[in-house]
């Protein structure tokens, strides 16, 4: 069977891309290696995403407007989002829902692990480990197969460079940890992560607790163990999960007949490791460019240009923030002190919730600038 587009990987980026293509009448196959896959993920999503993609209320296990940052010395800063909330989803349900939306739009959903992709005539031949699937043919490909993308390897895209390795454990609520059930807590603490952060995300019936590191000299399991001990949890987790977080866009993620979206393209923001929003946005933008390419011969590169125009400033800003403030505990202490500022909180939350750089009045910018300088000098 030959399709216009094969979307490889049925996570948020692939499912959204397949739904957009199928809705436009493009024959689309969505290939997922494991339809029961539970992607290791904190499942925190911003309100802007929930609105844009009409995510049903029953998938949002918690709507959290309160957040707390903890410094290395144990200082807590409480923050509030008056204009919205972080939604907490469980990826096994969320991904299943997005894939079923793609099917409902007319995409063909199949289970199969991609083994190889070869160029053939005007398109591609895709081989899977599922014997029931004959080699599939497609004119175009969207690689949505995550940080270890086989699509990117087979089609010789430039490498995915910066990868945090992150681990998360799920703990059923007990009276001892019930106090974390209505707040997002973030730990900036070198003992928990030397170059990233630790998180405590509450879900309907459990807490998801995790940490990550860029540095492969650190033992991730030991960092996670210390984090759980510092929180004071003595119960055993019912699930351990770990995966890479690719926090740097590939040098290029577009070719003439194929594109990469989401983690496959490296579209996770530095500093906060947020990837679901960018996976779904890139899936949508990539699919729209593919439709224009198939119907009007518009170049696929328009997708990458558009994505970079919209989001490169956010990636750049967060990369600077991470490289300046996540280097040692003194700087992390300063970073948490800056988070106490009301203007910093307002600007941060507005840009997180809707992914728009919100310009602040000049006087506010100057105030924040001077505080940064003061805390940086103090932190050093
Ligand atoms: C521990 C952890 C916590 C995180 N927490 C958050 C968070 O709270 N909020 C947030 O926004 N982001 C978070 N992220 C990042 C987020 O999970 C990813 O950015 C997001 O899942 C990317 O979506 P995707 O569709 O591009 O890729 P994925 O979700 O990785 O989906 C890729 C899909 O492709 C399939 N696949 C892979 N290889 C093949 C193959 N060869 N053949 C067929 N199918 C294949 C996989 O089974 C998978 O379903 C976290 C990541 C980690 C590791």
Domain end position, chosen among 290, 311, 332: 311
Q: Are 66 and 78 in contact (CB under 8 A)?
A: yes
Residue among 128, 164, 279 whose CB has most ligand 1 atoms within 8 A, to mutate: 279
pLDDT of residue 83: 83
Burial of 44 (0-12, 13-18, 19+ CB in 10 A): buried
Say how many Å lie between the CA of residue 380 and the centre of ligand 1. Answer: 36
The predicted model scores a pTM of 0.95
pLDDT of residue 121: 87
Reading the block at residue 199, the tokens are: 């998180």
Q: Are 83 and 353 in contact (CB under 8 A)?
A: yes
Which strands make up the sheet holding 198-202, listed edge to edge? 76-80, 66-70, 184-187, 198-202, 206-213, 163-172, 239-246
pLDDT of residue 344: 85
d(CA 371, CA 337): 9
d(CA 34, CA 141): 19
In this structure, the answer to whether residues 202 and 188 fall within a common structural domain is yes
pLDDT of residue 216: 74
Residue nearest atom 27 in ligand 1 by C-alpha distance:
146
Reading the block at residue 41, the tokens are: 């993920």
Q: Are 95 and 105 in contact (CB under 8 A)?
A: no
pLDDT of residue 217: 75
Number of domains in the chain: 3
Reading the block at residue 145, the tokens are: 């197969």
Q: What is the pLDDT along the chain (380 residues), one digit of tens a residue?
A: 899 999 999 999 999 999 999 999 999 999 999 999 999 999 999 999 999 999 999 999 999 999 999 999 999 999 999 889 999 999 999 999 999 999 999 999 999 999 999 999 889 999 998 778 888 999 999 999 999 999 999 999 999 887 799 999 999 999 989 999 999 999 999 999 999 999 999 999 999 999 999 877 789 999 999 999 999 999 999 999 999 999 999 999 999 999 999 999 999 999 999 999 999 999 999 999 999 999 999 999 999 999 999 999 999 999 999 998 999 999 999 999 988 988 888 888 888 888 876 666 666 666 666 666 666 666 65
Domain end position, chosen among 311, 330, 364: 311
In this structure, the answer to whether residues 234 and 139 fall within a common structural domain is no
In this structure, the answer to whether residues 6 and 150 fall within a common structural domain is yes
What does each C-alpha distance from 198 to 35, 124, 187, 209 come to in angstroms? 29, 42, 5, 7
pLDDT of residue 372: 64
Q: For residue 279, what are the domain limits?
A: 2-40+90-159+250-311
pLDDT of residue 365: 61
In this structure, the answer to whether residues 130 and 172 fall within a common structural domain is no
> CATH number for the domain including 190?
3.30.9.10
What does each C-alpha distance from 169 to 86, 180, 202, 238 come to in angstroms? 20, 15, 12, 7
Pocket residues for ligand 1 (CB within 6 Å)? Answer: 8-14, 31-34, 37, 39-45, 113-114, 144-146, 150, 166, 168, 210, 243, 245, 262-264, 268, 273-277, 279
Q: Specify the DSSP class assigned to residue 111.
A: E
In this structure, the answer to whether residues 22 and 109 fall within a common structural domain is yes
Reading the block at residue 110, the tokens are: 């199949």
In this structure, the answer to whether residues 180 and 144 fall within a common structural domain is no
pLDDT of residue 342: 87
Residue nearest atom 4 in ligand 1 by C-alpha distance:
41
In this structure, the answer to whether residues 110 and 214 fall within a common structural domain is no
In this structure, the answer to whether residues 172 and 49 fall within a common structural domain is yes
Say how many Å lie between the CA of residue 379 and the centre of ligand 1. Answer: 35
Q: To which residue do tokens 């224009």 refer?
A: 292
> CATH number for the domain including 303?
3.50.50.60
Say how many Å lie between the CA of residue 12 and the centre of ligand 1. Answer: 8
pLDDT of residue 368: 62
Domain end position, chosen among 258, 288, 311: 311
In this structure, the answer to whether residues 206 and 166 fall within a common structural domain is yes
In this structure, the answer to whether residues 202 and 328 fall within a common structural domain is no
Residue 369 neighbours by CB under 8 Å, 6+ apart? none
Say how many Å lie between the CA of residue 205 and the centre of ligand 1. Answer: 22
d(CA 129, CA 115): 6
In this structure, the answer to whether residues 28 and 119 fall within a common structural domain is yes
Residue nearest atom 52 in ligand 1 by C-alpha distance:
41
In this structure, the answer to whether residues 169 and 182 fall within a common structural domain is yes
């Amino acid at each position: 069977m030959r399709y216009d587009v094969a979307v490889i990987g049925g996570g948020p980026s692939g499912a959204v891309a397949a739904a957009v293509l199928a809705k436009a009448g493009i024959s689309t196959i969505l290939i997922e290696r494991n339809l029961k896959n539970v992607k290791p993920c904190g499942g925190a999503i911003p309100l802007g995403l929930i609105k844009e993609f009409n995510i049903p209320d029953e998938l949002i296990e918690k709507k959290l407007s309160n957040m707390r940052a903890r410094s290395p010395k144990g200082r807590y800063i409480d923050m509030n989002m008056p204009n919205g909330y972080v939604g907490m989803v469980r990826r096994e349900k969320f991904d299943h829902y997005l894939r079923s939306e793609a099917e409902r739009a007319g995409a063909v959903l199949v289970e199969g692990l991609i083994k190889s992709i070869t160029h053939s005539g005007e398109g591609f031949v895709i081989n899977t480990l599922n014997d029931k699937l004959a080699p599939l043919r497609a004119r175009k490909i969207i690689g949505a197969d995550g940080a270890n993308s086989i699509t990117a390897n087979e089609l010789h895209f430039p490498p995915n460079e910066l990868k945090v390795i992150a681990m998360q454990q799920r703990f059923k609520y007990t009276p001892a940890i019930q106090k974390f059930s209505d707040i997002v807590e973030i730990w900036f603490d070198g003992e928990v992560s030397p170059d990233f952060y630790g998180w405590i995300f509450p879900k309907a019936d459990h807490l998801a607790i995790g940490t990550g590191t860029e540095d492969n000299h650190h033992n991730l399991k030991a960092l996670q163990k210390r984090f759980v001990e510092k929180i004071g949890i003595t119960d055993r987790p019912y699930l351990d999960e770990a995966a890479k977080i690719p926090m740097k866009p590939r040098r290029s993620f577009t070719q003439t007949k194929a594109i990469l979206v989401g983690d496959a393209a490296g579209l996770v923001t530095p500093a906060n490791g947020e990837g679901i929003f960018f996976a779904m946005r890139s899936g949508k933008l990539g699919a729209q460019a593919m439709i224009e390419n198939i119907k009007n011969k518009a170049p696929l590169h328009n997708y990458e240009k558009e994505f970079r125009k919209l989001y490169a400033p956010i990636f750049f800003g967060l990369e600077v923030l991470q490289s300046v403030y996540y280097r040692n505990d003194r700087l992390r202490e300063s970073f948490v002190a800056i988070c106490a500022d009301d203007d910093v909180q307002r600007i941060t939350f507005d840009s997180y919730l809707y992914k728009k750089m919100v310009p602040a009045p000049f006087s506010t910018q100057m105030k924040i600038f001077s505080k940064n300088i003061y805390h940086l000098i103090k932190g050093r």
